[in-house]
Structure 1
Amino acid sequence: DTSPELARQRVTERLQGVSGLPPETEGPALAPASSVMGEIAFLALTSTSLDPMELRRVAEVDVRRRLLAVRGVSQVVAMGGQERQYQVLPDPLRLERYGLTLHDVHAAIARGNQNAPGGYVIGKGQEAVVRVLGRSHDLEDLKDLTIAQRAGVAVRVRDVADVVVGPAVARGAASYNAQPAVILSIVKQPAADTIAVTRQVDAAVDALLPLLEQKGVAVHRDLFRQSDFIDLAVSNLTRVLRDGAVLVVAVLLLFLWSVRPTLISAIALPMSMLLSVLVLDFLGLSLDAMTLGGLAIAVGALVDDAIVDVENVSRRLRDRTQLPPDQRGPVLQTVLAASLEIRSSIASATFILMLVFVPLLLLGGLEGRLLRPLAIAYLAAIGSSLVVA
Structure 2
Amino acid sequence: MVQKLIEISIRNRYVVLVLAVALFIWGIFAVNKNPVDAIPDLSENQVIVFTEWMGRSPQVLEDQVTFPLVSNLQGIPKVKNIRGSSMFGMSFVYIIFEDNVDIYWARTRVLERLNYAQRLLPQGVTPTIGPDGTGVGHVFWYTLDAPRMDLGEQRALQDWYIKYGLQTVPGVAEIASFGGFEKQYQLVVDPVKLQFYNLSLMDVMNKIKANNNDVGGRKFEMSDMAYIIRGLGYLKNKEDIESIALINYNGIPVRIKDIGSVQMGGDLRLGIFDENGEGEVVGGIVVMRYGENADKVIKLVKEKMKEVEKGLPEGVHFKTAYDRSDLIDAAIDNIKEKLLEEMIVVSLIVILFLFHWRSAISIIIQIPLTVAISFILLNAFGISSNIMSLTGIALAIGVIVDNGIIMAENSYRNLAEWQEVKSKKVKIQK
| 8 A contact 1:245–1:299 mirrored in 2 | no
Q: Deviations over 1:334-374 (max 9, x none)?
A: xxxxxxxxxxxxxxxxxxxxxxxxxxxxxxxxxxxxxxxxx
Q: In the alignment, residue 164 of structure 1 is paired with which amino acid?
A: Q
Q: Secondary structure at the match of 2:391?
A: helix
SS at match of 2:422: coil
Cα shift at 1:132: 8.2
Q: CA deviation at 1:44?
A: 1.0
2:330 aligned residue: 232
Mean Cα deviation higher: 253-262 or 274-283: 274-283
Change over 3 Å in CA distance of 1:8–1:287 after alignment to 2: closer
Q: Check if 1:186 corresponds to 2:286.
A: yes
Q: Please name the residue that 2:122 is paired with.
A: 22
Residues 270 and 82 (structure 1), Cα distance of their counterparts in 2 relative to 1, 3 Å cut: closer
Whether 1:69 aligns to 2:143 is: no
* 1:141–1:19 Cα change, 3 Å: farther
State which of 171, 185, 197 in structure 1 corresponds to 2:270.
Answer: 171
State which of 295, 301, 316 in structure 2 corresponds to 1:195: 295
Distance change in 2, residues 1:16/1:138 (3 Å): farther
5+ unaligned residues in a row in structure 1: which ranges? Answer: 122-129, 329-389
The AA in structure 2 aligned to 1:204 is K
Equivalence for 2:138: 39
- Cα deviation per residue 1:59-87 (whole Å; 9 max; x = unaligned)? 11121111111111111121111110011
1:277-292 mapped onto 2 (5 Å cutoff): 277=375, 287-292=385-390
The range that moved more, 65-74 or 235-244, is 235-244
Q: Which of the numbers 296, 299, 304 marks the counterpart of 2:394?
A: 296
Alignment correspondent of 1:219: 318
Q: Deviations over 1:201-243 (max 9, x none)?
A: 101111122332x33223211x211222222222223323332
Question: Which secondary structure does the structure 2 equivalent of 1:42 belong to?
Answer: strand
RCO higher in structure (CA 8 A, sep ≥6): 2
Correspondence for 2:305? 205
- Kept after mapping to 2: 8 A contact 1:56/1:182: yes
Deviations 1:137-173 (A, max 9, x none): 4334423333222234432223322222222223211
- What residue number does 2:111 align with? 12
Distance change in 2, residues 1:148/1:303 (3 Å)? same
TM-score for the superposition, normalised by structure 2: 0.63
Kindly tell me: are residues 200 and 261 of structure 1, through their superposed partners in 2, closer, same or farther at Cα, counting changes over 3 Å?
Answer: closer
- Conserved 8 A contact 2:143-2:318: yes
Contact map agreement 1:248 1:300 (CA 8 A) in 2: no
Q: Secondary structure at the match of 2:206?
A: helix
Task: Measure how far apart 1:102 and its partner are.
Answer: 3.2
Following the alignment from structure 1 to structure 2, what is the Cα–Cα distance between the partners of residues 204 and 322? 72
Partner Cα distance (1:153, 1:228) in 2: 68
The aligned counterpart of 2:245 is: 146
* Counterpart-to-counterpart distance in 1, 2:187 and 2:372: 69
- Indicate conservation of the 8 Å contact 2:346/2:360, yes or no: no
In structure 2, relative to structure 1, the CA distance for the partners of 1:209 and 1:138 (3 Å cut) is: same
How big is each residue's C-alpha offset from its partner over 1:161-205, in whole Å with a ceiling of 9 and x where there is no partner?
A: 222222222321123340331021111111111111111110111
Conserved? CA contact 2:339–2:367, under 8 Å: no
Partner of 1:379: none
Q: Residue 80 in 1 paired to residue 175 in 2?
A: no
Distance 1:31 1:134 in 2: 34
Distance 1:92 1:174 in 2: 35
What is the aligned residue count?
Answer: 318
2:44 aligned partner:
none
Quote the Cα distance in structure 2 between the aligned partners of 1:161 and 1:305.
85
Question: Shift in Å at residue 58 of structure 1?
Answer: 1.0
Partner Cα distance (1:234, 1:137) in 2:
53
**Does residue 366 of structure 2 align to residue 268 of structure 1?**
yes
Letter in 1 for 2:419: R
Give me the whole-angstrom Cα distance separating, in 2, the residues matched to 1:217 and 1:308: 62
Partner of 1:136: 235
1:38 deviates by 0.9
The change in CA–CA distance for 1:47 and 1:5 in structure 2 (over 3 A counts) is: same
With 97-106 and 317-326 compared, the bigger mean Cα shift is at 317-326
- Cα distance in 2 for residues equivalent to 1:41 and 1:239: 26
1:316 positional shift: 5.2
CA contact (8 A) 1:46 1:55 kept: no
Aligned equivalents of 2:354 and 2:104: distance in 1? 58
Inter-partner Cα distance in structure 2 for 1:13 and 1:271: 48
Counterpart in the other structure of 2:190? 91
Q: Is the contact between residue 88 and residue 163 of structure 1 (CA under 8 Å) also seen in structure 2? A: yes
